[in-house]
C-alpha cells in the first residue's frame, strides 16, 4: 500500500521503451497505455521486466489488433498471454483507443473469453 493510502498512475502512451527503466523509481502505483510491439517500440517481456510484480498495468492490447488484418484468434491468444504475464496486477484494456475501422466483435470475444475462463467478477 502506498503512503497515506494514495495511489497514482500515469499514461505513457507511444514509444516509451527508453523510459521503461524509470518505472520502478517513479513511485507510481500503475502505468496506463504501455503499448507493445507492433504498435509501439517495446515487447511484452520488456514491459514485464520494467514493472515486475509491483506495478499495475492498464490496457496492453494494441489498438491495431482490432483492425481487420488481425484475426479474432490472434487477439484472443495475445489477450491470454497478457493475462498470464501480468495478472493480478492488470486492468485489461485497449492501448490506446479502438481505431475507427476497429472490429468491436473482437472486444466482445475478449469479454466472452474472460467470462468463460474466470466467470463473473464481484
**Residue that the C-alpha cell 516509451 belongs to:** 16
Residue 122 has pLDDT above 70, yes or no: no
- pLDDT score, position 1: 46
Quick one: cell of 31?
Answer: 502505468
Quick one: cell of 12?
Answer: 505513457
Quick one: cell of 69?
Answer: 488484418
Residue 121 has pLDDT above 70, yes or no: no
Helices 44-51, 72-86: axis angle to 10 degrees equals 20
Q: State whether residue 62 is helix, strand or coil.
A: strand
Find out whether 29 and 55 touch, Cβ atoms under 8 Å.
yes
Domain positions in the chain are 3-118
Q: Please tell me the pTM assigned to this model.
A: 0.92
- pLDDT score, position 31: 96
Amino acid at each position: 500500500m502506498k503512503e497515506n493510502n494514495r495511489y497514482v498512475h500515469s499514461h505513457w502512451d507511444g514509444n516509451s521503451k527508453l523510459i521503461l527503466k524509470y518505472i520502478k523509481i517513479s513511485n507510481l502505483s500503475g502505468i496506463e497505455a504501455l503499448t507493445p510491439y507492433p504498435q509501439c517500440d517495446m515487447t511484452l517481456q520488456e514491459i514485464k521486466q520494467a514493472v515486475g510484480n509491483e506495478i499495475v498495468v492498464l490496457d496492453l492490447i494494441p489498438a491495431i489488433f482490432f483492425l481487420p488484418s488481425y484475426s479474432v484468434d490472434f487477439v484472443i491468444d495475445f489477450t491470454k498471454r497478457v493475462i498470464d504475464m501480468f495478472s493480478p496486477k492488470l486492468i485489461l484494456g485497449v492501448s490506446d483507443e479502438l481505431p475507427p475501422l476497429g472490429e468491436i466483435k473482437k472486444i466482445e470475444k475478449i469479454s466472452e473469453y474472460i467470462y468463460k475462463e474466470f466467470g463473473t467478477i464481484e
